[in-house]
Structure formats: structure tokens, C-alpha cells
Copies of this chain bind each other. A is one copy, B any other.
């Protein structure tokens, strides 16, 4: 990366030409992320982090509202502890980082940098849960985790990323399952109502579930290029970890019972979804509800007397009702337009000498490019309404895209053809056998994304083997 003039905003590669390059360009040009010194790590820059903070704060608010408390657990896991739950260690061991030395000394036991923290919470719960009075125990933590991935991309797959992991214990299976669903709904709510990303809700197949879970619920979203992104998962763990870690409580009758557990997580990966669902060839598009700056004032002919004063007055008036900023630097307005379009700021407010004369401003929407003239008297009413319209429009466009990119198929050749022609979600019946799931992956590279809660019987037969179908599954190529 050479030293170049920062005032110059480069164009991004057109997504139709090279979607992966478009993504990389946007991430870089919108100043979301830079590459870390260690392969596969990322630096989250101020603008990227500010968006993440808004997303995180809304999740955190909803976690607290649903009775969860935050905690912080250490990031080192002794090797022997990770091995206590068999499926779990098999799932995670190949992709963990190992600490072997502290200072100048070799450690007696190697430590894993947490890839996830079920075992640490399990160990804690076994010591801290005694009676039914201690239940439910509803913990969450915001933390960094490490997974030693071979191929990495900013936000989507990196060696280290930020996430939250909820870990809860319940007296009964029923309560734990209700929690599993509740948290999936929280994830879906934030995705749909804040990130403006429509999601499919459903269950993962046995093959795709979390290592150590009874089952995994998931929300799946669709990117511009027709590939799916798993955007959050909520696991019902059953009593597997409770058995491995001896997490028991005395019930009201004085009997020892195993707790039923859940865990659930969303990560900075969701930033990748935001980029790939809403972005366009002019850069990022940030939904107003999570935008650090919702409206950017760009003064026109700011050297003329009174323009800057009026622009600052406007900023002061508006900052009570929206997240507004002003760019009064000496760059040309055209450069500023490009820069804030690249950063996806929802609304640009232009104000020049003529506008001041007419007591109006120009509002320019990032999502459609539409301009409107609004009188200063009406601005306090119009601007929040416009932001809501943009929020809704982004959601509607994403939903329309997903609808258009969802195809019902009943044969393997249809499945292949449709994946090749346009990608997206394929609705197809499945017999429930692993062999068919694997064969579909082999022949098409598509994976089962979820068994949706909203089932439709699109055929009687499995799309792969033709035997009796058990359920409808969404298939897609995925990130």
C-alpha cells in the first residue's frame, strides 16, 4: 500500500465484473477495514467500528431487555478442558491457535485461544449452579475469538474476529428450547429492523449444526451476488455439556438434575452482510438506523459570505434530531459527494447561496440518488421521515432481490441449472439423508442453508435420490 493522496476517492470495481474485488474495494475505500500484520487478521478502522458499535449496542440492549447479563471470561482454555466434550473438540481442534510459552518458560499444559467458550462457561456453571433457585442463568459476553482459517476475507472469515456469545442454563428442556428460539428472534429482529436485511429462519441439518449441539437454529441472508451468508446462530445444547462438566442442580423435590443449555452468537461477519446486501457500484450503503452519520451537510460555494455560518447553524439545529455532521473542509463539493457516497451516508444535505436565499436545502438520498428541495421550516419533519423511507426502501429492495433469487426446484438438473444461471436460494425437498446432502454439495457446491420454519411441500420426492421427501430445505452457495 503506497502513500497516496487521501483526498482522492478511487472508484470501486463494478460488482458485475468481479464481485469479490468489488467487496474488497468497498471495504477499503469506505475505510471500514485494513489488513493486520498477521495473515488473515483485520484492523477495524474508525468508520467500520462506529457502525459495529451501533449494531452491537442494539443487540446488547435487546439481550438486557430479555434478562441477560454481561460477563467476561478469560480467553485461554487449557487443552484438557477443551477435550471434555467429544464432538466439540473434534469440531474445533483443527482451527485453534496454541499458546505454548509464557515469558521464557514452556507451559506445562498448552493453552488454546478461545474459538468459542462453551467449555469455560461449562466449568464455571458446574461450580456455581447448585439449586433450581440459581436457574435460569443467562450470561452473555462480548469478546474476540480466534479461528485458524486457511482462507480469509475481511469481516467474512478472519483469524480473529469480534462477537458476542450467549451461554445460558435452564432447569428444563422446554425453557432452554424457548430461549434458543427467543434469541434467534432477537437476531432476526436486529437484522431485519436495524440492518434492513431480510432473513430466513430455520434449523440447520445435522451435518451443519454446531459441534456439540443437539440442534442449531440459524438466520440466513442473501447477498447481491446470489450467495447466502449465515448471519447468526442459536444452539440448543441439550445436556451434553452438562454431562461432560457435571452441571447439576437440586430440583424442588431435592433431586439432582442436569441443566439444559443454550449458546448463541453473532459476529462482525454481519458487517459483511451489510456491505453485500446494500452496497452498490458507488460504494457502501448504510441503513439509517445503524449509520454513525445519518446526514452529511455539504456547503456549496462555502467561500461566499454567510454560507458556512448558515451551514453550522443548520448542523446545530439538526443534531438534536438526527446524527448529523458537516464537511467544511476545503475539498471540492464533488469530492465530498463521492466520499460520502462511498461511505454510504444515507442523506446528503446541500446548502449554497441560492438555497439560503430561498430558505431551503437540497436532500439527496444515497439509496436512490433522488434529490428533493425542502424548506427550512419543514426540514425537522421531513428529514427523519426520509431516513425512515430509506430504511424501508433498503429492506424492501433486499426482500425483492431475495424473492427474485429464490427458485423452487424438483430435480438435480434443475437445481444445477438454476444455481448456474442465477444462483440464490433453491427451495427443494430432501429425504433427510446425509448422503443426499453430501451429493448435492459435491455436484453443485451448494450447501443446505436451513430447514425453514415455514415449510412448503414443493414436491413429494427428495430432489437428489427421488425417495420420499421429509422436509423442504433452502440450498445455496454460501460464504
For the residues of A in contact with B, the DSSP-based class is mixed
Residues on the B chain within 8 Å of A86, using CB: none
CB distance from A452 to the nearest CB of B (A): 34
Type the 1/0 row for A29-65, where 1 means its CB is closer than 8 Å to any CB of B: 0000010111001111110011011000000000000
- Chain B contacts of A3 at CB under 8 A? 127, 130
B94/A72 in contact, CB under 8 A: no
Give Cα A38–Cα B111 distance, bound, in whole angstroms: 8
| Chain A interface residue number, banded | 35 or more
A41–B103 CB distance below 8 A: no
Interface status of A69 (Cβ within 8 A of chain B): yes
Which of B103, B131, B143 has a CB less than 8 Å from the CB of A96?
Answer: B103
- The smallest C-beta distance from A76 to any residue of chain B, in angstroms, reads 5
Are the C-beta atoms of A94 and B101 separated by less than 8 Å? no
Do A73 and B36 form a contact, CB below 8 Å, given A3-B130, A97-B102?
A: yes
Contacts A6-B130, A128-B34, A130-B3 given; indicate if A103 touches B148 (C-beta within 8 A).
yes
Is A76 within 8 A of B143, CB to CB?
Answer: no
| Inter-subunit contact B34/A74 (CB<8 Å) | no
Name which of A46, A76, A101 has the most chain B CB atoms within 10 A of its CB: A76
- Contact check, B99 vs A94: say whether CB atoms are below 8 A apart: no
Of all chain B residues, which has the CB nearest A113? B99
Cβ proximity bits A125-147 to B, threshold 8 Å, 1 near / 0 not: 00110110110000100011000
**A94 to B104 alpha-carbon distance, docked (Å):** 6
Q: How many copies does the complex hold?
A: 2
B74 touches A45 (CB 8 A): no
**Inside 8 A of A1's CB, which chain B residues have their CB?**
127
Cα–Cα distance between A102 and B146 once the two chains are bound (Å)? 10
Contact check, A123 vs B37: say whether CB atoms are below 8 A apart: yes
| Chain B residues with CB below 8 A from A71, complex form | 43-46, 49
B residues within 8 A CB of A49?
Answer: 69-72
A131 to B124, CA, bound (A): 51
In the complex, what distance in Å separates the CA atom of A133 from the CA atom of B123? 52
Quick one: closest B residue to A104, CB to CB?
A: B94
Most buried by B among A34, A75, A102, A160: A102
- A81 CB within 8 Å of chain B: yes
Which of A3, A5, A94 has the most C-beta atoms of chain B within 10 angstroms of its own C-beta? A3
Assembled-state Cα–Cα distance A159/B113 (Å): 13
Other 4 A-B pairs with CB < 8 A, given A34-B124, A72-B162: A1-B127, A6-B130, A94-B104, A99-B99
User: What are 23 residue pairs bridging A and B, where the CB atoms are less than 8 Å apart in the complex?
Assistant: A4-B130, A5-B130, A6-B130, A7-B133, A34-B124, A36-B73, A36-B74, A36-B76, A36-B120, A37-B76, A37-B77, A37-B78, A41-B74, A43-B72, A43-B74, A44-B73, A74-B160, A96-B102, A102-B159, A103-B148, A113-B113, A143-B144, A144-B144
- Shortest Cβ-Cβ A-B pairs, 8 listed: A41-B74, A46-B69, A102-B148, A36-B74, A98-B101, A44-B72, A103-B148, A38-B76
